[in-house]
Structure 1
Amino acid sequence: MNRTPAPAPPEAAEPQAHPRALEPVTLVVTILLSVLGAVIGLVLITTLGIAPNTSVIGALIAMLIGRISFAALSRMRNPHRQNLVQSAISGSTFAAANSLVTPIAVPFLLGKPGLVWPMLGGAVIGLAVDSWVLYRVFDSRLLPASAAWPAGIAAAETIKAGDEGGRKAKLLGLSAVIGFVGSLFKLPMSAAGVAFLGNIWALLMFGIGLLVAQYAPSLLHTDLSADYVPHGVMIGAGLVALVQAVLLMRDRRGRKQQADEPTAPAAGPADPADDRFRPEMRTVDATRLRRGLLEGLALFLVGALLVAFAGGVAADMGGLGLVGWVALAGVAALVHQLIVGLAAMHSGWFPAFAVTLIFLIVGLVLGIPMVPLALLVGYAASTGPAFADVGFDFKAGWLLRKGAVPWHPYEMAGRRQQYIAQLVGFAVAIVVVMIAWKPFFSEGRVPPVAQVYVDTIKAGLTDTHALAMMGLWAIPGALIQVLGGSSRQMGVLLATGLLVATPQAGWLVLAALAIRVAYSRYRSRAAARTPADGATPPEEVEAPGAAADNDLALVGAGLVAGSSLNDVSQIYKAV
Structure 2
Amino acid sequence: MSNPTVPEAEAPQARAHPRALEPITLVVTALLSVLGAVIGLVLITTLGIAPNTSVIGALIAMLIGRISFAALAKMRDPNRQNLVQSAISGSTFAAANSLVTPIAVPFLLGRPDLVWPMLGGAVIGLAVDSWVLYRVFDSRLLPASAAWPAGIAAAETIKAGDEGGRKAKLLGLSAVVGFVGSLFKLPMSAAGVAFLGNIWALLMFGIGLLVAQYAPGILNVDLSANYVPHGVMIGAGLVALVQAVLMMRDRRSKKEAAAQAEREANPGDAFDAEFRTVDARRLRRGLLEGLVLFLIGAMLIALMGGVVSEMSGIGLVGWVLLAGVAALIHQLIVGLAAMHSGWFPAFAVTLIFLIVGLVVGIPMVPLALLVGYAASTGPAFADVGFDFKAGWLLRKDAVPWHPYEMAGRRQQYISQLVGFAVAIIVVMIAWKPFFSDGRVPPVAQVYVDTIKAGLTDPHALTMMAVWAIPGALIQFFGGSSRQMGVLLATGLLVATPQAGWLVLAALAIRFAYTRAKRRAADKGRLAQESAVADADNDLALVGAGLVAGSSLNDVSQIYKAL
TM-score normalized with structure 2 length: 0.96
1:559 corresponding residue in structure 2: 546
1:302 corresponding residue in structure 2: 296
Determine the C-alpha separation between the residues in 2 that align with 1:368 and 1:316.
10
**How far off is 1:314 after superposition?**
1.1
After superposition, give the CA deviation of every residue in 1:54-107 in whole Å (9 maximum; x if it has no partner): 000000000000000112100000000000000000000000000000000000
1:265–1:161 distance in 2 versus 1, CA, 3 Å: same
Matched letter for residue 154 of structure 1: A
Determine the C-alpha separation between the residues in 2 that align with 1:248 and 1:190.
30
**How far off is 1:243 after superposition?**
0.3
1:268 corresponding residue in structure 2: 266
After superposition, give the CA deviation of every residue in 1:377-415 in whole Å (9 maximum; x if it has no partner): 000000000000000000000000000111100000000
**How far off is 1:263 after superposition?**
7.5
Determine the C-alpha separation between the residues in 2 that align with 1:461 and 1:245.
31
* 1:508 paired residue among 489, 502, 507: 502
In structure 2, the residue corresponding to 1:144 is in which secondary structure? coil
Determine the C-alpha separation between the residues in 2 that align with 1:29 and 1:403.
26
**How far off is 1:252 after superposition?**
1.7
1:139–1:462 distance in 2 versus 1, CA, 3 Å: same
* 1:526 paired residue among 496, 520, 529: 520
* 1:336 paired residue among 330, 336, 354: 330
1:231–1:103 distance in 2 versus 1, CA, 3 Å: same
* 1:423 paired residue among 405, 417, 437: 417
Report percent identity of matched pairs: 86
In structure 2, the residue corresponding to 1:223 is in which secondary structure? coil
User: Is the 1:263–1:285 contact (alpha carbons within 8 Å) kept by the matching residues of 2?
Assistant: no
1:458 corresponding residue in structure 2: 452
1:486–1:215 distance in 2 versus 1, CA, 3 Å: same
* 1:386 paired residue among 380, 384, 397: 380
Matched letter for residue 555 of structure 1: V
Matched letter for residue 405 of structure 2: E
User: Is the 2:155–2:393 contact (alpha carbons within 8 Å) kept by the matching residues of 1?
Assistant: yes
2:536 corresponding residue in structure 1: 549
1:406 corresponding residue in structure 2: 400
2:211 corresponding residue in structure 1: 212
Determine the C-alpha separation between the residues in 2 that align with 1:149 and 1:229.
27
Matched letter for residue 237 of structure 1: A
| Structure index of larger Rg | 1
TM-score normalized with structure 1 length: 0.94
* 1:311 paired residue among 305, 315, 326: 305
CA RMSD of aligned residues (A): 1.9
1:227–1:523 distance in 2 versus 1, CA, 3 Å: same
User: Is the 2:215–2:223 contact (alpha carbons within 8 Å) kept by the matching residues of 1?
Assistant: yes
Matched letter for residue 343 of structure 2: W
Determine the C-alpha separation between the residues in 1 that align with 2:331 and 2:264.
27
Please tell me whether residue 131 in structure 1 is matched to residue 125 in structure 2.
no
**How far off is 1:262 after superposition?**
5.6
User: Is the 2:8–2:14 contact (alpha carbons within 8 Å) kept by the matching residues of 1?
Assistant: no
**How far off is 1:10 after superposition?**
8.5
Matched letter for residue 136 of structure 1: R
1:262–1:400 distance in 2 versus 1, CA, 3 Å: farther
After superposition, give the CA deviation of every residue in 1:343-397 in whole Å (9 maximum; x if it has no partner): 0000000000000000000000000000000000000000000000000000000
Please tell me whether residue 77 in structure 1 is matched to residue 71 in structure 2.
no
1:313–1:265 distance in 2 versus 1, CA, 3 Å: farther
User: Is the 2:153–2:545 contact (alpha carbons within 8 Å) kept by the matching residues of 1?
Assistant: yes
In structure 2, the residue corresponding to 1:148 is in which secondary structure? coil
In structure 2, the residue corresponding to 1:72 is in which secondary structure? helix
Determine the C-alpha separation between the residues in 2 that align with 1:95 and 1:57.
16
1:12–1:187 distance in 2 versus 1, CA, 3 Å: closer
Determine the C-alpha separation between the residues in 2 that align with 1:255 and 1:484.
29
1:486 corresponding residue in structure 2: 480
**How far off is 1:320 after superposition?**
1.2
Determine the C-alpha separation between the residues in 1 that align with 2:404 and 2:511.
35
**How far off is 1:16 after superposition?**
1.4
Determine the C-alpha separation between the residues in 1 that align with 2:255 and 2:244.
19
In structure 1, the residue corresponding to 2:273 is in which secondary structure? coil
In structure 2, the residue corresponding to 1:182 is in which secondary structure? helix
**Structure 2 residues not aligned, in runs of 5+:** 1-6
Determine the C-alpha separation between the residues in 2 that align with 1:108 and 1:306.
19
User: Is the 1:394–1:415 contact (alpha carbons within 8 Å) kept by the matching residues of 2?
Assistant: yes
1:12–1:152 distance in 2 versus 1, CA, 3 Å: closer
Determine the C-alpha separation between the residues in 2 that align with 1:89 and 1:11.
36
1:199 corresponding residue in structure 2: 198
In structure 2, the residue corresponding to 1:543 is in which secondary structure? helix
Structure 2 matches for 1:55-454, cutoff 5 A? 55-253=54-252, 265=263, 267-269=265-267, 274-454=268-448
User: Is the 1:58–1:85 contact (alpha carbons within 8 Å) kept by the matching residues of 2?
Assistant: yes
1:340–1:376 distance in 2 versus 1, CA, 3 Å: same
Determine the C-alpha separation between the residues in 2 that align with 1:87 and 1:546.
28
Determine the C-alpha separation between the residues in 1 that align with 2:485 and 2:256.
23
User: Is the 1:103–1:120 contact (alpha carbons within 8 Å) kept by the matching residues of 2?
Assistant: yes
Matched letter for residue 562 of structure 1: G
User: Is the 2:30–2:418 contact (alpha carbons within 8 Å) kept by the matching residues of 1?
Assistant: yes
**How far off is 1:265 after superposition?**
5.0
Determine the C-alpha separation between the residues in 2 that align with 1:138 and 1:289.
8
After superposition, give the CA deviation of every residue in 1:102-153 in whole Å (9 maximum; x if it has no partner): 0000000000000000000000000000000000000000000000000000
User: Is the 2:40–2:96 contact (alpha carbons within 8 Å) kept by the matching residues of 1?
Assistant: yes
**How far off is 1:253 after superposition?**
2.4
**How far off is 1:256 after superposition?**
11
In structure 1, the residue corresponding to 2:311 is in which secondary structure? helix
In structure 2, the residue corresponding to 1:528 is in which secondary structure? coil
Give the total of aligned pairs.
555
**How far off is 1:257 after superposition?**
8.1
Matched letter for residue 392 of structure 1: F
